[in-house]
Structures are given as structure tokens and as C-alpha cells.
């Protein structure tokens, strides 16, 4: 079970400090939310910021691209030091090609589905990915409420993984707090992204502990 704090809810003027706090607090990945104001109604950061934070941590950078035509930027994020590049099924006409580009760049490839997208939409690429991200909110903002109907997709992905002998990690993102993390863990999730729960608190390290305790119970 891994915790991936999302720096979307960190202090953008103090990213190094906020990354080091969660690294010391037991985080497993750093989740980086890239938004273009087109695929989602919000704008965040680009490859230059990924490059700037790269030297601040030993943890893998889990880069979640919420951008249209991610194929145009794979190279930039790979060069910036991303360990995972995760692309939305809904964001490109050529999902297989983008995933191949990511792998050819020597980066772990992830695919992500919105709440309205079924697992069947990514069936053909499950054999080639290192990670599948199930959005449990509609992407664009931190601090939204968890959508419980997404849980069955986690179960489905865990069943397919077992049946076909695949080894992708199942990640969840959106509205993750101890109660919802426990439900996702039960359904078969391995990696838990949490933004506001970790960072909108006095002690982010303690929040990570609380999430881990809920997942392991």
C-alpha cells in the first residue's frame, strides 16, 4: 500500500519544503497534477516545475497529465524527470501510441479513467501499463467529494489483473480520506493519492499515518 500526496494542495511558493515534509512522513510517491485549462477547467504547472522539484526528493514523481493531446508533451515530462507519466483515456485519440511513447522514453506508463469512463475503454492497453489510475472525482480540483460508484471499477481492475497475470498498480485519486481509502483498499487499490487531506492540515506526516492505519485495518 502506497501513499502519494498530491502537491496540488501544497504551498506553491514552498514546494521543496512541502515535498520534504511528506517524504519524511512516509510518503511513497509524489503526485504531480498537470492541468491545461482545456481538458480540465483549471491550470496548474508544466514540465519546468517537474524539473525544478526533481532534485528535492528521492521519491518517484507520479505525473498525472490532465491535458489534451498528451503525446505533444511526453518527451518534455520524461526529460524533466517523471518516473510515471499517467495519461487520460479521454484525452487522446491514440492512447496506445502515447503509452508506447512513454515506455520508449524509459518512463513507467499509466492510464487514467474519469468517473464516467468504464474499464472496458482501456481493456486493450491493460497488458502494457505499469499503473491504472481510477479517478474517484471529476478531475480539475482538489477537495471534492469521493464518488462511490467508482469502487466497482477498482474491483474489476483487480479481477482482470489476477485473471490475466498483469502487474499494474491500481491507484485512486480524489476525495481520499481514511474512510474512503479503506473502501478503496478493500476493493483492491494499491496506491492512494491524497491532496487536501494531507496538506490542508497542521501536520501532513500525521495525516499520512492516519491514512495508512485506515488502509491496513
d(CA 5, CA 24): 12
Is 33 designated active site?
Answer: yes
The backbone torsions φ and ψ at residue 74, rounded to the nearest 5 degrees and listed phi first, read -55, -50
Residues 6+ apart with CB under 8 A from 115: 135, 136, 137, 138, 147, 149, 150
> If binding is defined by CB under 6 A, does position 193 make contact with ligand DX5?
yes
Residue 143, annotated as binding a ligand = yes
Q: Are strands 84-88 and 191-194 parallel, antiparallel or unpaired?
A: unpaired
Q: How many residues belong to the site for Zn ion (CB under 5 A)?
A: 3
The one among 37, 41, 118, 143 contacting ligand DX5 by CB under 6 A: 143
Interactions with ligand DX5, residue window 83-142 (CB under 6 A): 137, 139-142
DSSP designation for 165 = T
The one among 2, 9, 114, 191 contacting ligand DX5 by CB under 6 A: 9
Q: Which is nearer to ligand DX5, 30 or 187 (CB)?
A: 30
Q: How many residues belong to the site for ligand DX5 (CB under 6 A)?
A: 22
d(CA 119, CA 132): 10
How many CA atoms within 13 Å lie on the side-chain side of 40? 21
Q: What angle do CA 145, 183, 177 make, to 5 degrees?
A: 45
> If binding is defined by CB under 6 A, does position 194 make contact with ligand DX5?
yes
> If binding is defined by CB under 5 A, does position 36 make contact with Zn ion?
no
Residue 64, annotated as binding a ligand = yes
Contact 196, 216 (CB under 8 A): no
Q: Which is nearer to Zn ion, 99 or 172 (CB)?
A: 172
Query: Which of the listed partners (Zn ion, ligand DX5, none) does 91 bind, with a CB threshold of 5 to 8 Å by partner kind?
Result: none
Helix (H, G, I), strand (E, B) or coil at 84: strand
Q: Which residues are annotated as a binding site for substrate?
A: 6, 64, 140-143, 173-175, 195-196
User: Which residues contribute to the site for ligand DX5 (CB under 6 A)?
Assistant: 6, 8-9, 31, 33, 64, 137, 139-144, 173-176, 193-197
| Residues with a known catalytic role | 33, 173
Amino acid at each position: 500500500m502506497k501513499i502519494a500526496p498530491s502537491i496540488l494542495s501544497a504551498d506553491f511558493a514552498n514546494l521543496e519544503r512541502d515535498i520534504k515534509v511528506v517524504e519524511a512522513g512516509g510518503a511513497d510517491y509524489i503526485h504531480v497534477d498537470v492541468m491545461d485549462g482545456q481538458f480540465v477547467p483549471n491550470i496548474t504547472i508544466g514540465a519546468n516545475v517537474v524539473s525544478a522539484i526533481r532534485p528535492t526528493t528521492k521519491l518517484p514523481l507520479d505525473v498525472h497529465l490532465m491535458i489534451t493531446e498528451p503525446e505533444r508533451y511526453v518527451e518534455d515530462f520524461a526529460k524533466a524527470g517523471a518516473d510515471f507519466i499517467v495519461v487520460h483515456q479521454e484525452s487522446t485519440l491514440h492512447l496506445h501510441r502515447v503509452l508506447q511513447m512513454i515506455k520508449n522514453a524509459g518512463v513507467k506508463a499509466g492510464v487514467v479513467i474519469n468517473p464516467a469512463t468504464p474499464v472496458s475503454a482501456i481493456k486493450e492497453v491493460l497488458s502494457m501499463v505499469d499503473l491504472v489510475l481510477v479517478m474517484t472525482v471529476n478531475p480539475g480540483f482538489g477537495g471534492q467529494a469521493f464518488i462511490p460508484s467508482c469502487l466497482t471499477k477498482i474491483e474489476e481492475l483487480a479481477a482482470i489483473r489476477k485473471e490475466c497475470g498483469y502487474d499494474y498498480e491500481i491507484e485512486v485519486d480524489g476525495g481520499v480520506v481514511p474512510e474512503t481509502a479503506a473502501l478503496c483498499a478493500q476493493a483492491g487499490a494499491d496506491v492512494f493519492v491524497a491532496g487536501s487531506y494531507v496538506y490542508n492540515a497542521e501536520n501532513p506526516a500525521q495525516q499520512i499515518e492516519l491514512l495508512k492505519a485506515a488502509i491496513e485495518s
